[in-house]
Amino acid sequence: MVLVLLIAAGFLLLGHLMGASRGAQIGLLVVLFAAVGLIQVVFPVGHGMRVATGGSLQGWGVFALVALLAGVYGLGLKWLKARAIKSALGGETAQVGAFSERELERYARHIVLREIGGSGQQRLKAARVLVVGAGGLGSPALLYLAAAGVGHIGVVDDDEVSLSNLQRQVLHAEDRIGMAKVFSAQMGLAAINPNAEVLPFNRRLTEDNAADLLDGFDLVLDGSDNFATRHLVNKTCVTLGLPLISAAISQWEGQISLYHPAGGAPCYACVFPEIPADGLAPSCAEAGVMGALPGVVGSMMAVEAIKYITRAGQALKGELLIYDALYGESRKMRMHRREDCPICGNASGAAVAL
């Protein structure tokens, strides 16, 4: 029996290496086991061929029963999974038709979530999200946006991958040192999810190009590493009426919020009205940063983006979440728009942190 099973395993391996279809591989196995059955019936007890192929039909009968039970179990799991997906989609054939079979398999864990479901996954597929910065915060945010099924992802950055980036910028790799980060990001995201369209913008965001770059997107994530860019992104988002998820990190601490004056939340300038003087807010290169911290905060950015797009839960609108990795603590501060904000202005209330 062992010899026959080894031959069957060899057939399966050969079929896999040759790219044979599953039907062809199953056909080979049927022929093999039919031949074994014939040998057991034709040759007398004790014959060498019969001994080499198992010795008796009873052993093969037990094997066939176990294989049948395993097959029924597998088909049952597949049926239950299909039923769960159909239930999550509300039985809407139009929703099912919006995804390929591979996409249904890929996003099954989202689709069965009550808060996302088929309609939420469809929103993710149709969404257009721009990520400013493909560094520490942008890397995990981009990875999880692509994995989640966001259909169109833009990424803006004018930097190149360097060796010192790799301690925290998990989207890049050592063999891409010297490559523009946006093209490295495009390669990395294609490996994660080829269904996502990645639009690389290998340039610095400036007053001259910001409006053109952000226009046409539904949501902006800002993971840049300087206040000037953050204020420029905020100003442009306010002008275009776009929601902005902005985060920042330094040493062991990170912060994140969703800024959206058009949705009743403050803008970034309501909370941080001025760019700090030189030396008051040192960069990561100057102050250092713990490697896993941007992974945590960047993943939070992706979480907030997925929530906003799918309309799940409560977004961080008007709330600043601060995470302290050194002591494992997090806290929230409530914020309101400022009437005298030079960017969004004419709002009710003054900026307050409670």
Could you tell me if 275 and 146 lie in one domain? Answer: yes
Distance in angstroms (rounded) separating the CA atoms of residues 339 and 349: 6
Residue span of the structural domain in which 231 resides: 127-334
- CB neighbours of 113 closer than 8 A, spacing ≥ 6? 88, 120, 312
Q: Where are the beta strands (DSSP E) in the chain?
A: 128-132, 152-156, 197-201, 219-222, 244-250, 253-259, 319-324, 329-334
Alpha helix stretches (DSSP H) within 215-260: 227-240
Could you tell me if 77 and 143 lie in one domain? Answer: no
Could you tell me if 78 and 144 lie in one domain? Answer: no
Tell me if 91 is assigned to some domain. no
Tell me if 260 is assigned to some domain. yes
Could you tell me if 193 and 312 lie in one domain? Answer: yes
Could you tell me if 192 and 45 lie in one domain? Answer: no
Alpha helix stretches (DSSP H) within 221-292: 227-240, 268-271, 284-287
Tell me if 113 is assigned to some domain. no
Q: What is the mean pLDDT of each run of 10 residues along the chain (354 residues)?
A: 66 66 69 70 69 66 72 71 57 57 92 92 96 96 98 97 95 96 97 96 96 96 94 96 96 96 94 79 78 96 98 94 96 92 67 35
What is the structure's pLDDT at 349? 36
Could you tell me if 164 and 271 lie in one domain? Answer: yes
Tell me if 89 is assigned to some domain. no
What is the structure's pLDDT at 342? 92
